[in-house]
Amino acid sequence: MVDPTVPLLDVRGLTMAFGGLVAVANFNLSLTPGELVALIGPNGAGKSTIFNCLTGVYRPTRGLIRLKETDITGWPPHRIARAGIARTFQNIRLFRDLDALDNVRIAAHLRQKATLAEAILRLPRFRREEKRITEESYELLELVGLAHRARQKARTLPYGEQRRLEIARALATRPVLLLLDEPAAGMNPQETDELTQLIRMIQEKFNLTVILIEHDMRLVMQIAPRIIVLDYGQTIAEGSPEEIRSNPRVIQAYLGGEAVV
Amino acid sequence: MDRSAKHNTWWRWLRFALLGAGLLLLAAVNLWAYQGRIDFYILGILTVMGINIILATSLNLINGFAGQFAIGHAGFMAIGAYVSALLTTLRSLPFLPALIAGGLAAALVGLGVGIPTLRLRGDYLAIATLGLGEIIRVIIVNLPITGGAFGFSGMPPYTNFFWVEGAVVVTLLVLSNFIRSSPGRALLAVREDEFAAETVGVPTTYYKVLAFAIGSFFAGVAGGLFAHYLLFIDPSQFGILKSIEILMMVVLGGLGSFSGSVVAAVLLTALPEFLRGFADYRMVIYSALLILVMLLRPSGLFGQVEIWQLLGDRTNGPGGLPGKPGGSGRGGLAMPDKAGATGSPREVAGQW
């Protein structure tokens, strides 16, 4: 079913410039199905910009993005979501005044086929789908350990749970590629460990390909077989955790000092 | 556990009793109206109330649920009023098709103008839609067929209490079913966070335009009922003042609560009548009351809560909502809830 020779995601020469500022320059990435790659780099290195290009929030200045051989460059975000890319946000963006269940159910919405008329008239197909979506959403909440919070408003949840709810919401779109933008930000070591477990588990369970932006090096080194390092929009290193750890350019970028190009 | 179970049965009985009493009252009013035992004046107020309920709830769909602050609702009401009146008067069309045609015409215009204007946000959208309402009014003044500023009359007196009642029921059913469905939740997502909604696959522009078109449809139907009740329409009845009046009902009742809009429409229609005795001071008292409510409950009477939630509808999920039925941070009906701690009325006032 999945041809491993065909990359799930293929990014070629991705460049994003805002006026004169080049946030991302000539970024390349090829992911095989099921792979997990971490994107690291100092603040402002262009990591989130890459996510915004991949999800259609920004239209790239140059470059090509292909998902399973389909060119999705420049598609609107909702179409890209339907194509199978889901994400979480660095600064949590839940539907704050809606409860946890509805947050997840909204993301499941794109798989509903019943028409508006069927919904208004409460016809059988609508009822069936509504039931199915609700059940699936409960399962996802359970998976991230939030089933008991289903009927609480998103903004009343503790911080760590909001992060997990965002993951459940992303999963509800049934993605093939999941983009996690600093999921461990603001978490204590124990919460981070739980999160690491969770990412591993969902990756396996849903056969997901994952790109992870993270500052917590312990998490990155533990979970990512392959790491890409960005600095000032440029890819400065790529490799296994050991290679990255000993790479002089990476050390320079993180510890400061004159950039040697 | 035992105590909460007891509490539940108690609620169930209260709900049952309230529902029963409501239905009984409704049946009685219908019977009296049918027998002609309600005097014309009261029946007239009830009719206007019903029309206002349709206007307020349909505007609330756009403003409170989709979160798009549009304020030209009277313009769409005007389209429905004129289209249906012209059809019944000049083409002798029966009432129902004329009403629907009026609604569809309003929806079509809503669709046409919604696509460009709904790109605007907040204040800009408000001003654009206000302007739009005025444009519709001016067009009506200048069209030869509408009688211009002299107004239009001669339509058959079709509207009565029962027509309005039926229209109110249909409106409320359609709107509340819509909002409690997958497309309805997509609409709420647009209000909550447009950006996040897009990234989970919600085509936000589509849903904004959809809400706008549906809201406009019901405004058009309300206009048709209005025209065949008053039997005389002229463009000045559908000006900015009317738009503001509808908006007031929505805000007073609570942005995002249909029940709130219903209650506010009833109150704001009845209040001026009750205040008739005070003659000169009527509008002063009316305005003062409005200011008072807004000061005390900036999120409106109902906030984002519906009456069935207050009465403890727990059908929406296993385990029920632990202490949450009134749980809107924008204020449930004076119900203490956990969410209230993070969003007191004061705090919400800051958001305005």
DSSP letters spanning A14-49: EEEEETTEEEEEEEEEEE-TT-EEEEE-STTSSHHH
Task: Tell whether B230 and B294 lie within a shared domain.
Answer: no
Q: Is the pLDDT of residue B170 over 50?
A: yes
Whether residue B14 lies inside any domain: the answer is: no
Interval B170-184 mean pLDDT: 94
pLDDT of residue B351 exceeding 50, the answer is: no
Instruction: Judge if B60 and B169 occupy the same domain.
Output: yes
What average pLDDT score do residues B260-276 get? 89
Q: Which amino acid is at B307?
A: I
| Predicted pLDDT at B222 | 98
Residues B190 and B298 in one domain: no
Domain that holds residue B196: 37-240
Beta pairing class for B232-233 and B152-153: antiparallel
- Evaluate whether ipTM surpasses 0.95: no
| Residue B91 confidence class, pLDDT cut points 50, 70, 90 | very high
Tally the C-alpha atoms within 13 A of residue B41's C-alpha that lie toward its C-beta. Answer: 3
- In terms of domains, do B106 and B230 share one? yes
**Mean local confidence (pLDDT), B264-292:** 83
Q: Are residues B111 and B217 in the same domain?
A: yes
- DSSP result, B263-303: HHHHHHHHHHHHGGGGGGGHHHHHHHHHHHHHHH-TT-SST
Instruction: Report the pLDDT value the prediction gives residue B16, as an integer from 0 to 100.
Output: 82
- Cβ–Cβ gap B200/A94 under 8 Å: no
What secondary structure does DSSP assign to B213-254, as a single string? Answer: HHHHHHHHHHHHHHHHHHSEE-GGGGSHHHHHHHHHHHHHH-
What pLDDT, on a 0 to 100 scale, did the predictor assign at position B322? 35
Chain B touched by A126 (CB under 8 Å): yes
Residues of A in contact with B170 (CB under 8 A): none
∠ CA B325-B330-B336 to the nearest 5 degrees? 50
pLDDT band at B332 (very low <50, low <70, confident <90, very high): very low
Q: Are B41 and B181 found together in one domain?
A: yes
Contacts of B295 (CB under 8 A, 6+ apart): none
Q: CA distances (Å), B243 to each of A129, B232, B252, in order?
A: 38, 19, 14
* Per-residue pLDDT reduced to its tens digit, A114-143: 888 899 999 999 999 999 999 999 999 999
Bridge partners, residue A12, by sequence:
A64
Inside any domain, residue B214:
yes
Tell whether B207 is covered by a domain. Answer: yes
Give the residues across from A36 on adjacent strands.
Answer: A210
Q: How far is B185 from chain A (nearest CA, A)?
A: 6
Q: Which of residues 170-209 of A touch B (CB under 8 A)?
A: 170, 172-173
**Residue with tokens 């002609």, as numbered in its chain:** B36
**Percent above pLDDT 70 for chain B:** 86
Confidence of residue B27 (pLDDT cuts 50, 70, 90): confident
Whether the predicted pLDDT of A86 surpasses 60? yes
Contact present, A164 and A146 (Cβ < 8 Å)? yes
Confidence of residue B276 (pLDDT cuts 50, 70, 90): confident
Q: Are residue B235 and residue B87 in the same domain, yes or no?
A: yes
Summarize pLDDT for B305-325 with one digit per residue, the tens.
Answer: 887 777 665 444 333 333 333
pLDDT score for A240: 92
Segment B51-78 shows an average pLDDT of 95
Instruction: List the Cα angle B226/B231/B232 in 5-degree steps.
Output: 95
From chain A, the residues in CB contact with B200 under 8 A are: 81, 86, 106-107, 109-110, 169-170, 172-173
Q: Which residue has the higher pLDDT, B258 or B32?
A: B258
B285 plus B222 within the same structural domain: no
Judged by a CB distance cut-off of 8 A, whether residue A97 touches chain B is yes
% of chain B residues with pLDDT over 90? 53
pLDDT of residue A259 exceeding 90: no
Both B144 and B226 in a single domain?
yes
Range among A103-112, B24-33, B89-98 rated most confident = B89-98
Rounded to the nearest integer, the mean pLDDT of chain B is: 84
Structure confidence at residue B348 (pLDDT): 33
Q: In the sheet that A209-213 helps form, which strands lie side by side, from edge to edge?
A: A85-87, A177-181, A209-213, A36-40, A226-231, A234-239
Are B71 and B220 in the same domain?
Answer: yes
A–B CB contacts, 8 A cutoff, strictly below: 125
* Residue B24 included in any domain: no
What percent of chain A shows pLDDT beyond 70? Answer: 96
Dist. CA B260–CA B254, nearest whole Å: 5
Q: Is residue B309 part of a domain?
A: yes
Which of B128 and B352 is assigned the larger pLDDT?
A: B128
Q: Which residues of A touch B174 (CB under 8 A)?
A: 120
Domain count, chain B: 2
pLDDT, tens only, A173-183: 999 999 999 99
Among candidates B201, B330, B339 on the partner chain, residue whose Cβ is nearest the Cβ of A156: B339
B277-284 mean pLDDT: 76
Quick: pLDDT tens for A24-77: 999 999 999 999 999 999 888 899 999 999 999 999 999 999 999 899 999 999
The pLDDT of B197-223, averaged and rounded, is 95
**Shortest distance, CA B148 to any CA of chain A (angstroms):** 38
pLDDT average, residue stretch B51-73? 95
The yes-or-no verdict on residue A258 having pLDDT over 80 is: no
Kindly determine whether residue B339 and residue A94, on different chains, have CB atoms separated by under 8 Å: no
Q: Which domains does chain A have, with CATH numbers?
A: 1-84+175-261 (3.40.50.300), 94-174 (no CATH)
Which of residues B213, B240, B267 is at a domain's end?
B240
Say if B346 falls within a structural domain. yes
The pLDDT score that the predictor gives to residue B32 is 86
How do residues A222-236 score in pLDDT, each as one tens digit? 999 999 999 988 999
- Residue A4, pLDDT > 70, answer no
pLDDT score for B337: 36
Mean pLDDT of A139-161: 94
pLDDT reported for residue A260: 46
Q: Which of B218, B240, B262 is a domain's end point? A: B240
Q: How far apart are CA A250 and CA B247, in angstroms?
A: 58
